[in-house]
């Protein structure tokens, strides 16, 4: 009984929190708008970092969004700011790191450039771990597994070939496929 009253109270509050004015304009809170009820402008791309301007270390940037016709927000009429994902960079170029790894990796210059000074010194003293460490670092940098030591991302063109690693853990659900069945 208490659960059904809670559900009814929730539905009542959500229905009456969205109101229509006398001229047919839908007035609501901007944070509750669904896709299609607003349109966001393109982000301003910073030419130095190739990411949206104002990208924070948490990987968020803000863009201005506008509501659809006949929808007005309670806060400030018909525009609001929305956070979009971005890749926070601090100035390490992907191309530079890869070229340093290919041509000067045996001396550890690639690791010095990325901020891993101890590994760079070890590679310098052992001639790139007898060139095996250089080969491994070329692969790790090319696949963007090794990133700058400060935790940021590489500078890659905004519309360039950035790699998004998809990881799987024990909480990942796999949809059964038809060809998995044993007959």
Complete DSSP assignment for the chain: -HHHHHHHHHHHHHHHHSEE-TTS-EEE-GGGPPTTSEEEPPPPEETTTTEETT--TTSEEEEEEEEPTTEEETTTBTEEEEEEE---EEEEEHHHHHHHHHHHGGGTHHHHHHT-HHHHHHHHHTHHHHTHHHHHHHHHHHTT-S--TTS-EEE--TTS---------TT------GGG---
Angle at 172 between CA 83 and CA 139, to 5 degrees: 80
For the question of whether the overall pTM of this predicted structure is more than 0.75, the answer is: no
| pLDDT of the residue at 140 | 95
| pLDDT of the residue at 67 | 86
Closest CA to 116 of 95, 135, 92: 92
CB-count exposure of residue 41 (10 Å: 0-12, 13-18, 19+): exposed
pLDDT in tens, the chain (183 residues): 555 545 444 444 444 444 555 556 777 787 788 888 889 999 999 989 888 999 999 999 999 998 888 888 876 667 888 999 998 999 899 999 999 999 999 999 999 999 999 999 999 999 999 999 999 999 999 988 999 999 999 998 777 767 777 778 887 777 777 777 766
What are the structural domain ranges in the chain? 19-86, 91-155
Does the CA dihedral 70-75-79-84 come out positive or negative? negative
β-bridge partners, 66? 39, 79
């Amino acid at each position: 009984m208490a659960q059904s009253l809670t559900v009814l109270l929730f539905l009542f509050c959500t229905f009456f929190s969205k109101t229509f004015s006398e001229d047919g304009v839908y007035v609501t809170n901007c944070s509750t708008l669904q896709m299609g009820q607003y349109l966001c402008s393109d982000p301003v791309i910073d030419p130095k970092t190739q990411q949206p301007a104002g990208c924070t270390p948490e990987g968020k940037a803000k863009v201005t969004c506008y509501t659809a016709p006949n929808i007005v927000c309670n806060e400030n009429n018909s525009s609001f700011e929305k956070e979009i994902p971005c890749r926070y960079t601090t100035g390490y170029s992907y191309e530079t790191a890869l070229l340093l790894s290919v041509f000067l990796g045996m001396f550890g210059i690639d690791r010095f450039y990325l901020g891993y000074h101890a590994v760079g010194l070890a590679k310098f003293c052992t001639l790139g771990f007898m060139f095996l460490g250089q080969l491994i670092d070329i692969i790790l940098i090319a696949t963007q597994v090794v990133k700058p030591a400060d935790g940021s991302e590489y500078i890659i063109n905004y519309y360039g070939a950035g790699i998004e690693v998809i990881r799987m853990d024990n909480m990942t659900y796999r949809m059964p496929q038809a060809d998995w069945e044993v007959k």
